[in-house]
Amino acid sequence: MEIFWYIIIATVLGIFFVLDGYDFGTGIIHLFFAKKENDKEVITKSAGLFWDSNEVWLVAAGGMLFMAFPTFYASVFSGFYLPLIIVLWLIIFRAMGLEFRGQFKYQMWKDIWDVSFGVSSLLLALFFGIALGNIVRGVNLGGVENGISVYEGHYFFLPLWDSSFSPISETPGIIDWFTIIIGFISVVTLAIHGANWVILKTNSSINLKLKGVIFKLNIALAILTVFSLFVWQIVNPDSLNNFVDKPYLIVFPILYFTGLIGLFFIKKIKKDVHAFWLSTLLILGGITSSLASLFPVILPSVNDVHEPLTIYNTAAPEYGLSVAFIWGIIGIILIVVYSIIQKRLKGGKVDKMDYGH
């Protein structure tokens, strides 16, 4: 049952980052490339019509994580308390930017909420990438200092950064040079995804320009990917062992590189939806490759005093997992049906759809 719930939660999180990821990316594109009022309005609309339904997947993932792996849930929600609060405020300001922009027609009012939408989207993409960087790097479980634990073995607390700013420090912070690199990869990936979404859902005047932007961002992403693989070996020399021991896991990096290579042909892709699926592969391939490199570990320990958190030593009792099985399946079906209906009702271009008035 542990593996079943691990796969389900990973799938739900992957869906969240694909769906709400294009909202984050749309905000980044809006911040840097939308200059005309009409473009700003339709790009905002392409995110605003969908953001609230997309975040249902995040709520579902949090609930299932609390049910299936309560020890892990308690550990990360206390250890990552500072960035979680920052993310919460960024989500609030992103929503305010989307919902408040169209309430008044004063330009200064619109400009304020445009900045709120764009900056919060950019920082959300960055912080979610930094969070993934912390997961693959590991944390100081137990708060070990000089071989002595400050907390119980499954607890930790990280400052925003350590004075050394190093991922191989005995007491790493949330932000270091390695997690920043992963954060940049997240920003670039979601910007590509958001640009593909804008092209797919709007008739914005910058759509043709965005294809050139995607090509350039893809070059940057390829360079960052190769660089991150190199530095990952410095941070964790055993990071690729799972792919050697279990060759079938190579399917996940293949997904990522399929999306990466495919997007170099963005200017030749005739159907916009195909480009969107390629950036979807980028997101799903990146997340699943990271998880596959750790499995069955879900939070590594950077010290030798405490064992890492795994799906086995953090799981709820077998009885609880079994009882939740039926209700979990029912809940997922309801979310899927809801999402399908919502997407179908708002299919096609959103330019003439009503939002924010």
- Please answer whether residues 217 and 192 qualify as being in contact, where contact means their C-beta atoms are separated by less than 8 angstroms: yes
pLDDT for the residue 48: 83
Structural domain of 307: 2-345
Q: Report the run of H or E that residue 309 belongs to, with start and end.
A: strand 309-310
Peptide bond into 253 cis (omega under 30): no
pLDDT for the residue 238: 82
Helix-strand-coil split of the chain, %, nearest 5: 70, 5, 25
Assess if residue 355 is contained within a domain: no
Query: Strands 309-310 and 297-299: what pairing?
Result: antiparallel
pLDDT for the residue 227: 94
Identity at 346, one-letter amino acid code:
K
Assess if residue 303 is contained within a domain: yes
Query: For 233-244, what is the HEC assignment?
Result: HHHCCCCCHHHH
Strand-pair partners of 145: 148
pLDDT for the residue 335: 87
pLDDT for the residue 55: 87
Nearest to residue 61, comparing CAs of 50, 73, 49? 73
Assess if residue 353 is contained within a domain: no
Assess if residue 356 is contained within a domain: no
347: left (phi over 0), alpha (psi -120 to 50) or beta: beta
Q: Report DSSP letters for 153-187, one per residue.
A: TT-----S--TT--TTSSS--S--HHHHHHHHHHH
Cα(73)–Cα(64) distance, integer angstroms: 10
Assess if residue 351 is contained within a domain: no
- Please answer whether residues 123 and 31 qualify as being in contact, where contact means their C-beta atoms are separated by less than 8 angstroms: no
Cα(56)–Cα(161) distance, integer angstroms: 31
pLDDT for the residue 200: 92
Identify the burial level of 123 via C-beta atoms within 10 angstroms of its C-beta, where 0-12 means exposed, 13-18 middle and 19 or more buried: buried
pLDDT for the residue 316: 84
Assess if residue 354 is contained within a domain: no
pLDDT, tens digit (0-9, with 9 covering 90-100), for 304-323: 888 889 999 888 888 888 88
CA distances from 193 to 65, 259, 314 (A): 26, 11, 34
Assess if residue 152 is contained within a domain: yes
Assess if residue 34 is contained within a domain: yes
Q: Tell me how many domains the chain contains.
A: 1
Handedness of CA 284, 290, 291, 293 (dihedral sign): positive
Predicted TM-score of the model (pTM): 0.90
- Please answer whether residues 116 and 96 qualify as being in contact, where contact means their C-beta atoms are separated by less than 8 angstroms: yes
CB neighbours (10 Å) of residue 327?
10
Residues of the chain with pLDDT under 50: none
